[in-house]
Structure 1
Amino acid sequence: MNLDFDKATLEDALYIADHLRPSDREECNAHTAAAARTTLETAWKASSHAWTAKSAEGTPIAILGLVPAPGMSGTGIPWLLCAEEADTMPKAFLKYTPEYLGVLHAIYPRLLNAVPSTSTKTLAWLKHLGFTLGEPIPSPILAGVQITPFYRVETHV
């Protein structure tokens, strides 16, 4: 299955928020105490760049963006959240991810963020993409939740 990528809109962000996979909802909760719609709207507004992956029918499947890291020139905070339908098309994500990773690095040579340490599929995917995983640390938002920082540096931009 192919995915079409467009510049993300607020409507796309809110659609994804209303249809988040449980693991993506957990990821949102590990970073903020706000509702998913508020979290996605905030991430979309804070992003210097954001795209929506849509099905052939035009349904938003995933949204990804880059937030400039405050006080860290050349560093972006990538984020990706998916609707439940994304789980039906893992091959499409594997196909397009390397291409978009190159796009992200062309904008920010250094990428960093963190995900819940329980998100084993996400952590394996990040490792497969060449991200370095840090040691789990306590979430600054939710007591008892561990997050795993990740980063990737592109030296050939």
Structure 2
Amino acid sequence: MIEYLDLREVDGGTLLGLLSHLAENLRPSDIDEIQATTGTGPMQALVESVAVSERAWIIRVDGEPVCVFGAAPTEFPGAGSVWMMGTSRMDERPVALSICRNFRPYLAELHKLWPILFNFIDARNQKSMDWLLWGGFQIIEALPNHGPEGRLFFTFSRYEPPCVHPSSPA
């Protein structure tokens, strides 16, 4: 069974336990990306990502945390910085299909806060790029020499404008 835990409703001790499990089991590609982006370890990256996020969720499968994602405000009006990190379980076909079937409402929730969702992805992180493309994100720009390791990264984004009623003034 898959469940999405809204991290606004999780107490601090439980949250640290969930993040610790994720940090100890992150996909190697996510660990490499964290290192290339920040130079920090997985636990610090997870805690900081959750702390700065306006909204964040952990996906559990049969009680086991397999993924954490969210989005944080940026200095750009209308744009949020979206992120996701997970264990290799999120790439298992039945788990991936279940996440795919249930994920779109959470993107819609983030788009209520920010019409533009964006961030940067390590060019080596093909599995995450596949997830992004599935989720309707576009790869929009190459960033050579990004982060402390000077790696090739790409900017990705997804735009969903707010709905405007046809009779509303523009």
- TM above 0.5, one fold? yes
Q: Does residue 53 of structure 1 match 2:52? A: no
Count matched residues: 153
1:151 Cα deviation from its structure 2 partner: 0.7
> So what's the TM-score if we normalise by structure 2?
0.82
1:102 Cα deviation from its structure 2 partner: 1.1
1:97 Cα deviation from its structure 2 partner: 2.3
Q: How does 1:2-81 map to 2 (within 5 A)?
A: 2-8=1-7, 9-56=15-62, 58-69=63-74, 71-81=75-85
1:43 Cα deviation from its structure 2 partner: 0.8
What letter is aligned with 1:64? F
Percent sequence identity is: 25
Q: d(CA) in 2 for partners of 1:18 and 1:133? A: 29
1:154 Cα deviation from its structure 2 partner: 0.8
1:135 Cα deviation from its structure 2 partner: 2.8
1:77 Cα deviation from its structure 2 partner: 0.6
Q: d(CA) in 2 for partners of 1:113 and 1:11? A: 26
CA offsets 1:67-109 (integer angstroms, 9 cap, x no match): 111x212211111111222222221122122222111111211
Is residue 10–residue 44 contact of structure 1 (8 Å, CA) maintained in 2? no
Partner of 2:80, secondary structure, is strand
Q: Does residue 142 of structure 1 match 2:153? A: no
Q: Does residue 156 of structure 1 match 2:155? A: no
Q: How does 1:84-99 map to 2 (within 5 A)?
A: 84-88=88-92, 89-99=95-105
> So what's the TM-score if we normalise by structure 1?
0.88
CA offsets 1:14-43 (integer angstroms, 9 cap, x no match): 221111011111221221101111111111
Partner of 1:62, secondary structure, is strand
Q: d(CA) in 2 for partners of 1:22 and 1:130? A: 24
**Structure 2 unaligned regions, length at least 5:** 8-14, 164-170
Residue matched to 1:106: 112
Is residue 28–residue 39 contact of structure 1 (8 Å, CA) maintained in 2? yes
Is residue 48–residue 65 contact of structure 1 (8 Å, CA) maintained in 2? yes
Mark the structure with the bigger radius of gyration.
2
